Amino acid sequence: MSIRVKLLLSYIVMLILPVFLFLIAILMMGFAFFGDIKNTTRFYNIDLKEPHTITRLIYADDIFFTELKDVAKYAPQKLEDPRFLRGMDRELNKVQSGLIIRQGRQLVYTSPFFRDPAIIHALPPVFQKKVNDEEDEHEHHEIRVHHHWYSYKQYDFFTQDHQVMTIFILRDVSTLTHLARKFFRTIIITLFLALAVTNGLLTYLVSRSILKPLNVLKHATEQIKEENLDFRIVPTSKDELGELSLAFEEMRQKLKESIDLQLQYEENRKELISNISHDLKTPLTAIKGYVEGIRDGVADTPEKIEKYLSIIAKKAEDMDQLIDELFLFSKLDLKKLPFFFEHVEIVKYLDECIEEVKFDLEKHGISIKWARKIAPTIVIADREKLKRVIMNIIGNSVKFMNKTKGEIGFSLIDKPEKVVIQITDNGPGIDPEALPFIFDRFYRIDKSRNSLTGGSGLGLAIAKQIIEEHKGEIWAKSELNKGTTISFTLQKASKRTKGGSFEKDPDH
Ligand code: ADP
């Protein structure tokens, strides 16, 4: 239930409940005054079995008055029948009223309740208005006798022998006045109490349903302030505050993700600095060692000195290469390296690449297989950077090759909007546990072996950066002792034409 509906309902209840409570209080006061429920209901003229008691309460003696008037008009002789009058009077007594009939100045019938001559004396003579006037029939009048108030109804009419006859229905209302006076303060207090209880109860219930979730949110804010994000906010309701709690929980999750990412970045940065320092320190230590060796005369023959110097030169070259790679990687990472994308016919491009490395690979005893399965295809690529990717991948295959008859295979797969280039070798393969990390920077499976092969652990990370800049993907599949396949995608530049050939690229 929404807070709006809750408030609306509470206002409605606030109006209805006090009235209800007030009525109960009035009934209870009547009960206290009259002693038992029978008298109370009688006093208020409430017939517990009969409906419309409120109407009866107001018009109780009206019914008898109308009936008596009808008798006066159509059967006036009945008004001289004492049995009829006694019966009528008894009925009237039940509603705290009584009957008096007067003919001229003579009393024809007097209810035992109203035999007091003072009352009879106080009754008006013939009514001031015209006799038989019907307009005033429901009007109540009051007389006061010995501190008692009586309300009465009066009907004057002419009998057949032209005498004025008057019907009075009297009711002693002083009990009610007395009751009202006696309980006036209590009634007012009860009314206020009923209002206060209802308002208090509803305010408590409604505010509890608002304050509870607010407290949860307050607690959550304090937790966040103390940099604790490891909690959950569970909405307790489906109203506006429930929605707010949900939004708050979403915010907490986003904040946690962003802080975790920040921590991850920080961790990566630290790791990067430590890796760079380590990778630069190792060759530098070696260089220093060999220089010391020459200085101290450990290298005492020209051949030894030459050997030491060539090692120093090789280490310096390794460092230079590492710094170059680092520089390239950091520029790619910071997106500061410009890319010159152009339309490249990939089949021809790979032909050229293979031609370029073929001789070198053959020297290492590695043969090349090139499955030119597709028609000439134009892709979008930066020629120079793409060469770097291919060279890094082939470089790894050569570096880690452990077979005497090494093989590197190239294949090109045509997809609707891209091409997939696969470079496979029959080398040692990569441990499945290490496979997901080979594209991470500085990741090297066997550090000692890599230091021999001169790997920086940046080759595949650079390849990944370049391919991602081409809006492509790169991944690896490998089986230990069988070989490794590195695949990557490039976006096609042109659509296929009807004849199955490709639109010629003007640049190409
Ligand atoms: P490195 O400069 O060490 O070659 P790379 O990022 O190019 O760094 O490769 C990461 C690691 O993945 C390598 O150190 C190597 O352990 C493994 N690896 C990459 N390519 C191959 C391959 N073709 N065969 C076996 N292992 C490979």
Per-residue pLDDT of the chain (508 residues; tens, 9 = 90+): 777 787 888 888 888 887 887 788 777 776 665 555 555 565 555 555 554 444 454 466 778 888 888 888 888 888 888 899 999 898 888 777 899 998 888 888 999 888 888 888 888 887 655 445 555 454 567 788 887 778 888 888 888 888 888 888 888 777 666 666 667 787 788 888 888 888 888 888 888 888 888 888 999 999 999 988 898 888 888 888 888 999 999 999 999 999 998 998 888 788 878 888 888 888 899 999 999 999 999 888 999 999 999 999 999 998 898 889 888 988 888 888 899 999 999 999 999 999 999 999 999 899 999 987 788 899 999 999 999 999 999 999 999 999 999 999 999 999 999 999 999 999 999 999 999 999 988 777 765 544 445 567 889 999 999 999 999 999 999 999 999 999 999 999 865 443 334 343 434 3
Could you identify the atom of ligand 1 that is nearest to the CA of residue 455?
Answer: 2
Residue 78: inside a domain: yes
CA of 466 to the centre of ligand 1 (A): 17
Q: What is the residue range of 446's domain?
A: 339-502
Read off the amino acid at residue 303. E
Answer whether 478 contacts ligand 1 (Cβ < 6 A).
no
Residue 195: inside a domain: no
CA of 346 to the centre of ligand 1 (A): 25
* Stated pTM of the model: 0.54
In this structure, are residues 109 and 82 in contact, taking their beta carbons and an 8 Å threshold?
Answer: yes
What pLDDT does residue 129 have? 53
In this structure, are residues 228 and 255 in contact, taking their beta carbons and an 8 Å threshold?
Answer: no
What pLDDT does residue 241 have? 86
CA of 438 to the centre of ligand 1 (A): 7
CA of 396 to the centre of ligand 1 (A): 5
Residue 386: inside a domain: yes
Answer whether 461 contacts ligand 1 (Cβ < 6 A).
yes
Residue 274: inside a domain: no
| Structural domain ending residue among the three candidates 102, 137, 172 | 172
What pLDDT does residue 139 have? 57
CA of 357 to the centre of ligand 1 (A): 19
Residue 180: inside a domain: no
Could you give the number of structural domains in the chain? 2
| Non-local CB neighbours of 402 within 8 Å, separated by 6+ positions | 427, 428
> What is the chain's alpha carbon radius of gyration, rounded to the nearest angstrom?
55
Query: Which two structure tokens, joined as six digits, stand for 253?
Result: 């999750």
Residue 15: inside a domain: no
Pick from 325, 388, 389, 396 the residue to mutate for probing ligand 1's pocket: most ligand atoms within 8 Å of its CB: 396
Q: Hey, whose CA ends up nearest to atom 8 of ligand 1? A: 457
Answer whether 400 contacts ligand 1 (Cβ < 6 A).
yes
Q: Hey, whose CA ends up nearest to atom 14 of ligand 1? A: 444
Answer whether 483 contacts ligand 1 (Cβ < 6 A).
no
Answer whether 40 contacts ligand 1 (Cβ < 6 A).
no
CA of 430 to the centre of ligand 1 (A): 8
| Structural domain ending residue among the three candidates 137, 172, 207 | 172
Answer whether 406 contacts ligand 1 (Cβ < 6 A).
no
Q: How many residues are listed for the chain in this entry?
A: 508
Answer whether 397 contacts ligand 1 (Cβ < 6 A).
yes
What pLDDT does residue 307 have? 93
Q: What CATH number has the domain bearing residue 104?
A: 3.30.450
| Non-local CB neighbours of 133 within 8 Å, separated by 6+ positions | 127
What pLDDT does residue 506 have? 39
Answer whether 450 contacts ligand 1 (Cβ < 6 A).
yes
Pick from 390, 460, 465 the residue to mutate for probing ligand 1's pocket: most ligand atoms within 8 Å of its CB: 460
In this structure, are residues 328 and 337 in contact, taking their beta carbons and an 8 Å threshold?
Answer: yes
DSSP state of 475: E
Q: What CATH number has the domain bearing residue 461?
A: 3.30.565.10
Residue 104: inside a domain: yes
CA of 444 to the centre of ligand 1 (A): 6
Q: Hey, whose CA ends up nearest to atom 12 of ligand 1? A: 438
Residue 345: inside a domain: yes
Could you identify the atom of ligand 1 that is nearest to the CA of residue 459?
Answer: 7
Q: Hey, whose CA ends up nearest to atom 13 of ligand 1? A: 444
Answer whether 462 contacts ligand 1 (Cβ < 6 A).
no
CA of 395 to the centre of ligand 1 (A): 9
Which of 457-462's residues contact partners 24+ apart within 8 Å by CB, and which partners?
Answer: 457/275, 458/325, 458/326, 458/329, 459/325, 459/392, 459/395, 459/396, 460/392, 460/393, 460/396, 460/486, 461/329, 462/325, 462/328, 462/329, 462/332, 462/388, 462/389, 462/392
| Structural domain ending residue among the three candidates 172, 196, 216 | 172
In the numeric block, the tokens 């009960």 are attached to 31
- The 3-state DSSP class for residue 416 equals coil
